[in-house]
Chains A and B, each alone.
Chain A
Amino acid sequence: MSLELAVAAALFVGVIAYAVLGGADFGSGFFDLTAGSARRGAELRTLVDHSIGPVWEANHVWLIYVLVIWWTGFPESFAAAMSTLVLPLLLALLGIVLRGASFAFRKYAATLAQARLFGVVFATSSIITPFFLGTVAGGIASGRVPLEGTGDRWDSWLNPTSLFGGLIAVGTCAFLAGTFLVADARRSGNESLADDIRTRALGVGAVTGALVFAALLPIERDAPTLADGLEGRAAPLVLLAGVAGLATMVLLWRRRYAVSRLAAVVAVAAVVSGWGVGQYPWLLVDEVTIADAAGATATLQGLLVAVGLAVVVVVPPLVYLLRLTQSEEWTHHS
């Protein structure tokens, strides 16, 4: 594997991790928003708070990781994408800011009125953020980001590929969150809450699955390069996404929550990888390849050192944190 490809792979691992881990955090906003009145939704909102509280900041760092590797490893393409896709990026950023701040504020809100206000902001921004990030992916994948100059600042994200990308992002986030929350609800011994989440997760899964495969049609016309990749090199991943998605649904249906969560992760990772492999070897589709976009060799080597260090020093504590959140003490202790 060439140096630039190794860095691109490290970058894309970050995209997948953010889509899965960060995505599940964002998706919980969907369940929070649709939990009903303050009284009816209290249990679910407490569960959301409990589930994502310890991990959302760590999961959020994957986004920073992606941005930093991108601008360090492939600087010109980063500048190009940021310039052209400035509008959806700023809207996503607004969502990120409002989500993080209002989530922290809600946790320590003094009154129900305050908690409601912060809660609505938290939940709404959790839904819109993945949408705009999805449109960014669509803009890149459909070849609308020129390397030189600035592309159309509206058409680059208001197009079929981007809109489907946005909707799929919202759907996959909510689907993942559903499978995570339902498992958390069971672990805390609340089967009726788990049933409630299960029903909605099944609904979200059906809609999202339909969206993912329906999107292949407009992509065929709107993003031919990506479509070629999806039908060729990435076809096994598309298939895997379908199988894992169906498996998740079946497992959810049969209330096998712990396993269904794993299947959902595989499904979503497959969808995201499908996009990445589908547009390979392009970094900005039809504009610049990974090899041509790469920055200085010494910097790429340095980045791999940083990534290697991250594997050694970040992964163990991350695993420790995730294990703690799944442990008995952290689930029941008040």
Chain B
Amino acid sequence: MLAPDVVTVALTDLADLLAVSASGDAEPAGLMPARQQMALSLGWHIILACFGVAFPAMIFAMHVIGIRRKDDTALELAKRWSKVSAVLFAIGAVSGTVLSFEMGVLWPGLMGTYGDVLGLPFAFEGLAFFLEAIFLGIYLYGWGRMPPRRHVLMVLPMAVTGIIGAYCVLAVNAWMNAPVGFDIVDGEVANVEPWAVLFNQQSFLQFAHMWLGAYMVAGFCVAGVYAVGLLRGRRDRHHRLGFLVPFVFASVAAVAQPFMGHVLGAGLDERQPAKLAAFELAETTESPSPLRIGGLLVDGEVKWAIDIPRLGSLLAMNSPDEPVPGLDTIPEEDHPPVNLTHLAFQTMVGIGSLLMLAVVVFWIARRRGRDLLENRWFLRFAAVAGPLAVIALEAGWIATEVGRQPWIVYGVMRTPEAVGDYTASLWWLLGITSVVYTAMTIGAVVVLRSMARRWREGATDLPSPYAPAAHADAGAEEAVR
């Protein structure tokens, strides 16, 4: 019986992960709740961040189509999307603020020691966020109140600042994985070069990978909404256009992404050998290394994996026979949680490849005169492509972050050194956060669905129902949308 074994192993893995001080070493009681807290809040925010980065460009494209072609359908779509983005950006802004607080509250060891090393990119990120928030206000409330050609330009800065903001955040993350811009002299941080952090080599590659990921998440999610509509028989131009514009963005990103990921991975054996070994589930150094699909590491042995000979060396090392350095070459105390890293990495690669394949099939079929929007199976796939892209995003993020453990700053500071002075009562914070984030998710879903329903019923403006119906009618003229 294979399945129960897998479950047992996974549970043991989880138990290991959660065993705070069971092993008797001096791991701080606050470490695991702090890590889970960060994982939850960052994992939630990253989805909205994708919309913040990628959605404005899609809205801009749609709005431009509307103005250029005098196309009311496109204008209506752009207007609705801007209202959706108002909801998404609001919860994105507050969940991003949570992260700012958590940097200090959860990781004072990191911020106190390296705040002036890693801080500058955050300053520029804040600047970009400032502009994004300002132009969101102008664009959102500018409908019908500004000359259309000027109004449409107001969304463009958002598309640009989303890119800058994402770059800056990724610069910090790249720095955590490959720290630069400082020396340790007599145990103290010295010779700080903040600009070297902002422009470090890895950050360009990591950013490009994340940027494409953002376009995949936002593009597939938005397109998926209209795929569902098409499936339900709403086969009008509104739904086709609503599907196609984001799908074009997602397609370009999905095709470029595997190559970008490959470029990003080059040299990982030098930079973070433990992470690469975990990705590839390389317990020992095998020459040439196989590509190991699935599988788990149990008591130091790889089980249930499907090995494809040589492919591991080809993909990870760009060489027919150069081996992936195995975990046995790395001290035990420097190993990340191997199984989680490996499975997350492969989930990302698997879904990414599937999405690339799907968009290639779609566009080839379209070139040959076959419209897959008529095909129910394609539409069903398109409907789940958004959630799949989200899973791939989360998996990729888990792979890189968990794969960096036990370091918070790779090779320099271990995660337990960074965590604040807390007892196990920090788990309460995670409990409360889970409740608040669940409520916020439900609130967003309820509100967005109700907006869609009212739009379908023909409402163009969505007046706020601040009073019982009779009064609302009287005040409707005053109510702003």
What residues make up the interface of A, taking CB atoms closer than 8 Å to B?
38-39, 41-43, 45-46, 49-50, 53-55, 57-58, 60-61, 63-65, 67-69, 71-76, 78-83, 86, 89-90, 93-94, 96-112, 114-115, 118-119, 149-150, 188, 295-296, 298-300, 302-303, 306-307, 309-310, 313-314, 317-318, 320-321, 324-325, 329-330, 333-334
Contacts and interface: CB of A to CB of B under 8 A. Distances in A.
Nearest to B449: A110
Contacts of A329: 145-146
B450 A108 contact: yes
B115 A71 contact: yes
Contacts of B138: 54, 317, 320-321, 324
A296 B421 contact: no
Contact of B100 (A58, A67, A101): A67
A321 B461 CA distance: 22
A75 B111 contact: yes
Contact of A306 (B96, B117, B123): B123
Contact of A334 (B115, B421, B446, B478): B478
Contacts of A93: 97-98, 101
A299 B117 contact: yes
24 contacts: A42-B471, A43-B475, A49-B466, A49-B480, A54-B138, A54-B140, A60-B97, A67-B101, A71-B103, A71-B104, A75-B113, A75-B119, A78-B115, A89-B105, A90-B429, A93-B98, A97-B436, A101-B443, A104-B90, A105-B446, A105-B447, A295-B116, A306-B124, A318-B130
Interface centre among B116, B133, B464, B466 (most CB of A within 10 A): B466
A80 B142 CA distance: 43
Contacts of A94: 432, 436
Given A101-B94, A114-B446, A321-B138, A64 B464 contact: no
Contacts of B373: none
A330 B138 CA distance: 10
A298 B444 contact: no
Q: Interface size bucket, B side?
A: 35 or more
A98 B91 CA distance: 9
B126 A61 contact: yes
Contacts of A58: 130, 133-134, 137
Contact of B466 (A46, A57, A69, A309): A46
Interface of B is mostly: helix
Interface centre among A39, A101, A102 (most CB of B within 10 A): A101
A120 B105 CA distance: 28
Nearest to B418: A79
A329 B443 CA distance: 32
B119 A72 contact: yes
Interface of B: 83, 86-87, 89-91, 93-98, 100-101, 103-105, 108-109, 111-117, 119-120, 122-127, 129-131, 133-138, 140-142, 144-146, 157, 189, 192-195, 420-421, 429, 432, 436, 440, 443-444, 446-447, 450-451, 453-454, 461-462, 464-469, 471-472, 475, 477-481
A217 B103 CA distance: 36
B48 to A, nearest CB: 11
Given A68-B100, A100-B93, A150-B421, A107 B111 contact: no
A79 B103 CA distance: 9
A314 to B, nearest CB: 5
A73 to B, nearest CB: 7
A325 B142 CA distance: 10
Contact of B465 (A79, A90, A104, A111): A111
Contacts of B420: 82-83, 86, 150
B466 A299 contact: no
Nearest to A106: B464
Given A42-B471, A43-B475, A72-B115, A317 B192 contact: no
Contacts of A105: 87, 443-444, 446-447
Contacts of B90: 57, 100-101, 103-104
Contacts of B83: 108
